Structure 1
Amino acid sequence: MTDTSEARSADDAAPAAPAAPRSLLRRLMRYIPLVAPVLLWAVPCWVLLYTGQHWPLPVTVAATCVFVLGLVTMPFAMVRGHGKRQQDRAAILGDTLLGSVWVLFTWSVVLGVLLRLALTVAGVGDGQDRARIVTWAVLAVAAVLLAWGYSEARRVPRVRRIDVELPRLGSGLDGTRVALITDTHYGPLDRVRWSERVCAEVDALEADLVCHTGDIADGTADRRRAQAAPLGTVRATHARVYVTGNHEYYSEAQGWVDLMDELGWQPLRNRHVLIERGGDSLVVAGVDDVTAESSGLAGHRAHLAGALDGADPDLPVLLLAHQPKFIDRAVEGGVDLQLSGHTHGGQIWPFHYLVRLDQPAVAGLSRHGERTQLYTSRGTGFWGPPFRVFAPSEITLLVLRSPQRPGASAAS
């Protein structure tokens, strides 16, 4: 008995060994919100002002004060804008500062190293000349990218068309048109007119199925109703379906589910509908976002088995799940195609490298396991900073293809 108890104690203790490193990592993660803003503002300040430029003292002092003011203002505005107060003007200011300093930080690092090295190798000027060239280059590149990025964020997205072959899709469903919008993020900037134009663009696609894979807005349904209302004008031959994103769970998710239902969309909260055409059927399922259960909202969780309950296992399955990382569960559940958003394609380069640490895909079509494919949209709108740099928004038209369609075998 004693030996058995000791063995059990040893076995119970064994899995606990890695807890210390994880605990240390969690403690370090707490400091990121404090350290990151300082780095974002300090690095470009140092590169532009203190790396050999020898600007006149009044210029150096004034420019340093601007950076310090930005460092203080940005987090204050973000808290007032996105915290309990929900002040839209503060959110716009904080978001704009965040996007601007991210671009300035990125190109201060890139050009501060690469351009300075190139100028040194080429023997251009002395140290001060090279430092000033770097400064003006960083400012010029940042200004151009921010102006272009703002235009990219505010425009109506281009339609991206892609054919997706599903091996189990019946020939009667060949050519089924699926329109996908996601991450509209209606928010502090009033985008009623933009929303109307996006919905008109989607309506013109004459899709059989229209999907919205979450993150409709930042704010409650009552606050953003006017911007979301044009979604009610979208038409589809068979169905308009919607699943929640993580941002709904920051803003009274049930209110958004109710509003989408009111606008004529079917919220697929761990359930499915059937699309039938030409004697063949497609299961269209949807799950709540993976953050739903931790939100504490009763009845909300991501439950694939519930979504597929009662569906014929021999039918192909199209799954709506807001985050690409749900794909592991989709593979286990035998899903044929998962549609997701969430990543924004990184939104502002090179943020997609950080997104890739959390998600299995950032944009486009990818294959997972033997059967399952994943399409990750770069999103229709933008979150926070009103900029898109090297990550264009999109409205996606996926045309589903059956391997049994005429000429398919010859094409393959």
Structure 2
Amino acid sequence: MTDTSETRSVDSAAREAQQRRLRRLMRYLPLIAPVLLWTVPCWLLLYAGQHWSLPVTLAGTALFALGLVGMPLAMVRGHGRRQQDRAAIIGDTLLGTSWTLFTWSVLLGVLLRLALTVTGDGQDRARIVTWASLGTAAVLLAWGYAEARRVPRVRQLDVELPRLGAGLDGTRVVLITDTHYGPLDRARWSARVCDTVNTLEADLVCHTGDIADGTAERRRAQAAPLGTVQATRARVYVTGNHEYYSEAQGWVDLMDELGWEPLRNRHLLLERGGDTLVVAGVDDVTAESSGLAGHRAHLAGALHGADPDHPVLLLAHQPKFIGQAAAAGIDLQLSGHTHGGQIWPFHHLVRLDQPALAGLSRHGTRTRLYTSRGTGFWGPPFRIFAPSEITLLVLRSPQPSAGQHP
């Protein structure tokens, strides 16, 4: 018994030490990341055997140095206490640009150099890699900007829920999420998104959080079109982590004012044809650590009073809540948060934190999870290989097998 206790103590101490090292690393990440994002492409494109003329080398180095200094300063002024939208736009754009240039200068720097080793001298090979990297990054950034700013395409799929009654078969659920109204004024975009939602003839429209970056008072004009969204039964909303950076209660109050029903650890019933669907929602998992009184993710509270024999549709901003949902026997969880990675290959980092990136997945024997890639974008105004979406889920009850009477 003593040996077991000592082993557990050692394991616990090791985990705590590892967590302390991780926290220290995260504190230094804002300093380390900009240096890597700007210095690595600078070296690969200017100094790795190209032998550019002195004016070209100096001008290129000056541009990378400007990005290295300017991006953090703009991010601090834009997203810090001053909340200057113009600075935020500059900082976010530089962040997306540096990430894309870093990715493709590294990838092409390796792949093209290997492919070109049998032809040309070293200087020619190095310059081909530079121009290919710059060209690829420029094309992807232009395309990614257009993808981020367009109205999302509608993604439709049928989702069969074994416990869904026949009276609810064909229920149309529209999911929007992660609209992230922010420094770039997207009021017209917001109106067009809502117009698209209204063409889908939804029974239930859901917004699973991260409405905006900024307070409800500051982003009201961009969010106002949400009041025009139409649904035959209900419009429901849950908080995301970004609400807790921007006075979450103000967003809850504004959504209520716009006619949406905030499902803060509570549920409502959707009834049709003698059958019932429980539509529940929980606060984001970051709510409790925000210090805002009364805000926390509480699934038991959300389901309190609901008939356990009725199927449950749960709104939870982050896919990582699926563990609790599966343990409680939830039938379908709707989430966002991941953006599908937003700018490739950032999705690899997202997968370190979340159990699903995008689309429909199964968890446990009953529970299914749908993770949206998001309707808007966060920060950098680019979407590269991670298109935004408005999702139409048509709920289906089990179909009678052959030989059975309907």
Q: TM-score, normalised by structure 1?
A: 0.95
**More displaced 10-residue stretch of structure 1: 16-25 or 271-280:** 16-25
- In 1, Cα distance between equivalents of 2:281 and 2:5: 43
Identity %: 81
Question: Structure 1 residue 207 and structure 2 residue 189: aligned?
Answer: no
Are residues 1:245 and 2:236 paired? no
Q: Map 1:124-273 onto structure 2 (within 5 A).
A: 124-273=119-268
Residue in 2 that maps onto 1:101: 98
Opposite residue 132 of structure 2, the aligned amino acid is A
Counterparts in 2 of 1:248-397, with a 5 A limit? 248-397=243-392
Matched, 1:35 2:32: yes
Ranges of 4+ aligned residues in structure 1 off by more than 3 Å: 6-16, 406-410
Q: Aligned residue for 2:56?
A: 59
SS of match in other structure, 2:293 = coil
Deviation at 1:132? 0.3
2:47 is aligned, of 24, 46, 50, to: 50
Contact 1:249-1:291 within 8 A present in 2 as well: yes
User: Matched residues in 1 for 2:174 and 2:371: separation?
Assistant: 13
Unpaired runs of at least 5, structure 1: none
Q: Secondary structure at the match of 1:398?
A: strand
Q: Kindly provide the amino acid, as one letter, of the partner of residue 131 in structure 1.
A: A
Tell me the distance in 2 between the aligned counterparts of 1:267 and 1:215: 13
The answer to whether the 8 A contact 1:403-1:409 is kept is: no
* Structure 1: distance between partners of 2:119 and 2:12: 58
Judged with a 3 Å threshold, the aligned counterparts in structure 2 of structure 1 residues 14 and 64 are, in CA distance, closer, same or farther, namely closer
* Counterpart-to-counterpart distance in 1, 2:393 and 2:4: 54
Task: Say if 1:384 and 1:165 are closer, same or farther in 2 by CA, change over 3 A.
Answer: same
Question: Do structure 1's residue 68 and structure 2's residue 75 form an aligned pair?
Answer: no
Counterpart secondary structure, 1:162: strand
SS in 2 for 1:17: helix
Root-mean-square deviation (CA, aligned residues, Å) is 1.7
Distance 1:409 1:74 in 2: 66
Q: Which amino acid aligns with 2:183?
A: P
Structure 1 residue 334: Cα displacement: 0.8
- The alpha-carbon deviation at position 409 of structure 1 amounts to 8.5
Pair 1:17 & 2:13 matched = yes
Once residues 150 and 13 of structure 1 are traced to their aligned partners in structure 2, the CA distance between those partners, rounded to angstroms, is: 51
| Matches of 1:408 and 1:321, distance apart in 2 | 37
Cα drift, residue 62 of structure 1: 1.0
Q: Deviations over 1:160-188 (max 9, x none)?
A: 00100000000000000000000000000
Structure 2, unpaired ranges of 5+:
none
Q: 1:47 to 1:8 in 2, by over 3 A?
A: closer
Provide closer, same or farther for how the CA distance between residues 219 and 170 of structure 1 changes in structure 2, counting only shifts above 3 A: same
Change (3 A) 1:156 1:57: same
- Quickly say closer, same or farther: Cα 1:216–1:135, change in 2 above 3 A: same
Count matched residues. Answer: 403
Q: Report the CA distance between 1:21 and its aligned residue.
A: 2.7
Alpha-carbon distance between aligned partners in 1 of 2:67 and 2:111, rounded to the nearest angstrom: 26
